[in-house]
Amino acid sequence: MTDLVIRGGTILDGTGSAAFTADIAITGGKIAAIGPNLPKGAREIDARGLLVTPGFVDIHTHYDGQATWDEELAPSTPHGVTTLVMGNCGVGFAPARKEDHATLIELMEGVEDIPGAALHEGISWNWESFPEYLDALEARRYAADIGAMVAHGPLRTYVMGMRGAKNEPATPTDVAEMARLTEDAMTAGAFGFSTSRTITHRAMDGEPVPGTFAAEDELFAIGRALGRAGRGVFEVAPAGLSGEDLVAPDREIDWVCRLAADIGRPVTWLMLQNNVQPDAWKHLMQLSVEAQAKGFQVVPQVAGRPFGVLIGLSGLHRFKACPSFAPLLGKPVAEIAAAMKSPDLRERLIAESAVHVEQVRKDIPVLALIFDNFEQTYLLGDPVDYEPSADRSIAHIARTKGIDAVEACYDAMIERDGGALLMQPFLGYSHGNGEALREMLTHPAAVLGLADGGAHCNAICDASTPTWMLTHWTRDRTRGEKLELPHVIKKLTKDPADLFGFPDRGVLKPGYRADVNIIDYDNLTLREPALVADLPAGGTRYLQAAEGYRYTIVAGEVTRQDDQFTGARPGRLVRSTQFEAGQKIAAE
C-alpha cells in the first residue's frame, strides 16, 4: 500500500502540457505512479474538481536571517511554495566574522527592509564560514525546502573588511580569496552567487551594497569559481535597474553575456520596466535571446506584478509624522481609523501633512514622491487588484468627488476600519497596465522571480506572486490577454527548478519528489495584506492570506491544509551537491 493517493484531480504536470485527470500515488516522499484507478493508499485525498500541480519553486527570496529562527517561512509558503532560494541581490549573512554582524544586519535592513532589531534578536550566528552557515541551516526543519546562494556583500566584507564594505577596489589578492571562498561555498552546496550593482540598493548608512562598483576582474574571477564547480547560477541586480542610469543597461547586458560565455554557467539578471525608459527592456530582452541563440545561458528574471509600495494606516503614510497623529501612534488600526473620522482631526492632519511633506521634499525627495504621486497611487482592494485602472487612482477619485487629492487619500485610508491599503507602483507599470509584464512573462528568454519573500516587510508582500499568477493572469484579467494556465504552472515550477539545478522537482512524474499543490482554482482568492507584529523584538511585516489552497504537500507530507499550517516540517536544506551535473530523473 502506498503512503498517499491523490484521487481524480485535474493535473497540470509542470511541463506545459495540457491538463489531464488521473490519480497520483506517493511513497517515501516520491511520486510512485500516475494513472487511473490506482490501488488504495494508507491516506487518500479526494481531488475531484481540484487543480493538482507541482509545488512552486521560488528562486528569489531573502529568508537568510529568518530561516535561522523560523520554521514556517511565511509569507511564501502559504502561496504554494515548496522550494525556495535565498541569498539574492548580493546580501546575506555568510561568511561573517563577529565584528561584521552589525554591518551585515544594517546592509540587509537597508536593502531589503527587514527590521534590524528582529535580525539582531533572531539570528543565532553559530557560524562564520559559508559552509558552516549551511550546516546550521541543515540542523533545522521547515515547511519547505531551502537552498542558498553566497552573496557578494558578506563575501567582500569578510575578505576585505571595511575596505570591502565601503566599496574600495579589490586587490588581486582580495579577488583570489573571494574566488576561493566562493568555490568552497559551491563545494559545500551553494546554488550560486549573487551581486548587486544598482545604486538604489543601500545599507542603512547610505553606502551602496559591497560590490556595487566591482571591476570585471573581480566579477569574472568569482564567476569562474562557479564554472570550476560545474554548478550554480550567477545572479545580478544590474546597474540602471530603476532607470537611474540611462546607459548602464546596455553596458550591463554586454558584460553579463561575456560572463556567461566565459564561465559556462547560467547568468540571471533582474529586469523590470522603469518609468524613465519604459520600453528599454524590449531591447535588453532581445539581446538576451541572441545570447541564448549562441548557446550562452543569459536569463532575464522578471516579475509577476508591479513593484512598488503599500500605503496605509498600518504602515507607511503621509500623516504618520504629523504632531496631531502622535497620540494615535501604537494604537490598534481600527481605533486610529475611528479617531480620524473626526472632522477637526481630519482638518488638522491634512494641514500638518502639507508642511511635513514640504520638508520631506527637501530632505528625502523620493519619499516625498511617494506621498505626493496621487496619479499613480491606487486603491488596492480586497480581493486585491495589482492591475488597477486609472479610475482607481486617488487623483481620479479626488476629481470625481471634487475634493483635494490629499483629502481623497485620507478618506481612502480609513475605510474598512483602517485596513484599506493603497498601492503605488514604481516599476513595471509605466503605461498604467500590465502589458509589459505580460510580454515579459511570455518571452522565451525569461524566468519568473522577484517575489522577494521575507523582504520589504513593511512596504510590500510580493511573496504572494504565485497566487496572483493564478488568479489574475490565468483567470480574472479583463484589461488584456490572459496567460495560459499550463504556461503559468510551468513558469512557477519546472522553469525555475531547471535554471537553479533542482532536477528532482518542478514536475509531476514518477520518480520525482512528491511536492504537490491541490488547489480549488475556481475559488482561489488573494486577500489584502495585513501588517502583523510577529517578528523577533516585536518587528512588523505584511502577511497576505490566500483562500483556496486545499493541500500543500512537501516530500509526501501535508504541510498546509485548507490554508492553515498542519505542523508538519518535512522541509530541509537542499545542497546543490546532492545532484550530479546534468542529472535527470528517469520517468516511468
**Residue range 438-461: average pLDDT?**
95
What pLDDT does 442 receive?
Answer: 96
CATH (domain of 241): 3.20.20.140
The answer to whether residues 199 and 265 belong to one domain is yes
Q: Determine, yes or no, domain membership for 127.
A: yes
Q: Determine, yes or no, domain membership for 578.
A: no
The answer to whether residues 401 and 292 belong to one domain is no
What pLDDT does 503 receive?
Answer: 97
**Residue range 316-329: average pLDDT?**
96
Q: Determine, yes or no, domain membership for 37.
A: yes
Element at 302 (helix H, strand E)? strand 298-302
Name residues whose C-beta falls within 8 Å of residue 224's C-beta, 6 or more positions apart in sequence: 179, 262, 263
Q: Determine, yes or no, domain membership for 226.
A: yes
**Of 394, 427, 460, which residue sits at a domain end?**
427
| Residue in this structure with the C-alpha cell 551581486, named with its chain if needed | 195
Q: How confident is the model at residue 584 (pLDDT cuts 50, 70, 90)?
A: low
- Whether residue 287 contacts residue 279, with contact meaning beta carbons closer than 8 Å, is answered with no
- Whether residue 447 contacts residue 496, with contact meaning beta carbons closer than 8 Å, is answered with yes
The answer to whether residues 317 and 393 belong to one domain is yes
The answer to whether residues 526 and 394 belong to one domain is no
Over residues 478-497, the pLDDT tens digits come to: 999 999 999 999 999 999 99
Sign of CA dihedral 560, 563, 564, 565: positive
Beta bridge partners of 54: 516
Task: Compute the distance between CA of residue 160 and CA of residue 518 in angstroms, rounded to an integer.
Answer: 48
Q: Determine, yes or no, domain membership for 440.
A: yes
Element at 248 (helix H, strand E)? helix 248-263
Q: How confident is the model at residue 445 (pLDDT cuts 50, 70, 90)?
A: confident
For residue 379, pLDDT over 80 is answered with yes
Q: For residue 37, how many other CB atoms are within 10 A of its CB? A: 8
- Whether residue 393 contacts residue 376, with contact meaning beta carbons closer than 8 Å, is answered with yes
- When divided into structural domains, the chain yields a total of 3
Q: Determine, yes or no, domain membership for 480.
A: yes
What pLDDT does 246 receive?
Answer: 63
Over residues 177-232, the pLDDT tens digits come to: 999 999 999 999 999 999 999 888 888 888 899 999 999 999 999 999 999 999 99
Q: Determine, yes or no, domain membership for 580.
A: no
| Residue in this structure with the C-alpha cell 488573494, named with its chain if needed | 526
Q: Determine, yes or no, domain membership for 34.
A: yes
What pLDDT does 367 receive?
Answer: 85
Element at 60 (helix H, strand E)? none
Counts of helices then strands in the chain (DSSP H, E): 18, 25
The answer to whether residues 341 and 469 belong to one domain is no
| Per-residue cell: 467 | 497566487
Q: How confident is the model at residue 588 (pLDDT cuts 50, 70, 90)?
A: very low
- Whether residue 226 contacts residue 186, with contact meaning beta carbons closer than 8 Å, is answered with yes
The answer to whether residues 297 and 371 belong to one domain is no
For residue 122, pLDDT over 90 is answered with yes
**Of 462, 478, 500, which residue sits at a domain end?**
500
What pLDDT does 581 receive?
Answer: 56
Q: Which domain holds residue 550?
A: 2-54+512-568
Over residues 251-309, the pLDDT tens digits come to: 888 999 999 999 999 999 999 999 989 999 999 999 889 999 998 999 999 999 999 99
Q: How confident is the model at residue 243 (pLDDT cuts 50, 70, 90)?
A: confident
Amino acid identity for residue 475 in this structure = R
For residue 585, pLDDT over 70 is answered with no
Average pLDDT, the chain: 95
The answer to whether residues 32 and 63 belong to one domain is no
Task: Compute the distance between CA of residue 203 and CA of residue 230 in angstroms, rounded to an integer.
Answer: 32
What pLDDT does 586 receive?
Answer: 45
Task: Compute the distance between CA of residue 109 and CA of residue 457 in angstroms, rounded to an integer.
Answer: 10
The answer to whether residues 322 and 174 belong to one domain is no
Q: Of 588 and 450, which is predicted with more confidence?
A: 450
Over residues 499-526, the pLDDT tens digits come to: 999 999 999 999 999 999 999 999 999 9
The answer to whether residues 118 and 255 belong to one domain is yes
The answer to whether residues 319 and 283 belong to one domain is no
What pLDDT does 463 receive?
Answer: 98
The answer to whether residues 149 and 272 belong to one domain is yes
**Of 408, 427, 446, which residue sits at a domain end?**
427
What pLDDT does 329 receive?
Answer: 95
pTM of the model: 0.96
CB-neighbour burial class of residue 336 (10 A; exposed 0-12, middle 13-18, buried 19+): buried
What pLDDT does 368 receive?
Answer: 86
The answer to whether residues 197 and 68 belong to one domain is yes
CATH (domain of 534): 2.30.40.10
